[in-house]
Amino acid sequence: MRKIAFRQALREAMQEEMRKDPRIYLMGEEVAEYNGAYKVSQGMLEEFGAKRIIDTPIAELGFAGIAVGSAMNGCRPIVEFMTWNFAVLAFDQIVNTSAKIRAMSAGQFVNPIVFRGPSGSAGQLGAQHSQAFESWMANVPGLKVISPSNPYDAKGLLKSAIVDDDPVCFMESEMMYGDMGEVPEEEYYIPIGKANVVKEGTDVTLISYNKMMKVANAAAEELAKENISAEVIDLRTIRPLDMETIINSIKKTNRVVIVEESWPFGAVCTEIAYRIQKDAFDYMDAPVRRVNGADSSMHYAPNLVDAYLPNAAKVVKVVKEVMYKTN
């Protein structure tokens, strides 16, 4: 199977759907003339023209509002944010209009729109450009939240998001756009709301998503050297959350460690831990543990970036605690 970059997988997803449906268009800062800040939309202006690949001013609230209104009137926009850190400015349109219009209109309006771009840290970018917002968006009824970890999932899930009739927050990573992965040439879709068991195991379940999957997989490799068998689950979709796959794994391993980049208070792992204790408590031999980013802003200094983020060593340490300390 061919290997392509993460950015190319996203581009192909958009191109394939845009060729089929003239109502789909892409808008955002530098998506057209500059081929995208991360070159995700490279070549799309030439193929689809300036009416469907639209450069915008630096005005997230404004162009998000245009997209939401057009979606209410029959279009199917894809909105690229240069980063979800900048999308904070557009939260009024995403949270107060796009997420709620189906309910507020008693189903008379749907809002088939994809808000996409990178979330989380990307090296030394400082406190205002390093925030992971998956848990924020997943807290809002009416939004679906997707956060893929590899090119195959990125393409299949983005295609599903584009054809979905609800607003979808598609949250990527600046650090993964160049990642290579196997992606078939034939068309495919990945269902929204279905997690993936990346590696089967018997001793502990590691749960993660987005670029923290690299940390979870690295930790699983280290644990295997010490004869600890870790099952690794890639959530892929944050909302709706696939608890069936998680609970089936817990029935085998009886232990869970969740790896997540975002701040610990009110994080995705918090909701998962609650649902585990509610629906799978009797299968647990140790408390649910989590490895998050630090409960602070991320600073610029590289040693503080390293201290802030989860890594394989931190995960291995916590796994050993749940393996050998059950109280």
Contacts of 168 (CB under 8 A, 6+ apart): 113, 114, 115, 143, 144, 145, 146, 161, 192
In the residue annotation, 60 being an active-site residue is answered as yes
Q: Are strands 144-146 and 76-80 parallel, antiparallel or unpaired?
A: unpaired
Distance, in Å, from the CA atom of 128 to the CA atom of 304, rounded to the nearest integer, reads 15
Q: Which two tokens stand for residue 327?
A: 């109280």
Q: What's the sign of the alpha-carbon dihedral 6, 117, 242, 225?
A: positive
Which uninterrupted H or E stretch holds 290?
Answer: strand 289-291
Among residues 12, 29, 129, 172, which one is catalytic? 129
Contact between residue 99 and residue 167 where contact means Cβ atoms under 8 Å apart: yes
16 counts as catalytic: no
Structure tokens, 3: 């290997």
Residue whose tokens read 């009824």: 141
Instruction: Name the amino acid, one letter, at 123.
Output: G
CB proximity list for 225: less than 8 A, separation 6 or greater: none
Question: Under a CB-based contact definition with an 8 Å cutoff, are residues 219 and 176 in contact?
Answer: no
d(CA 111, CA 268): 25
Of 60, 80, 260, 261, the catalytic one is 60
Kind of pairing, strands 180-182 and 3-5?
A: antiparallel
Catalytic residues: 60, 129
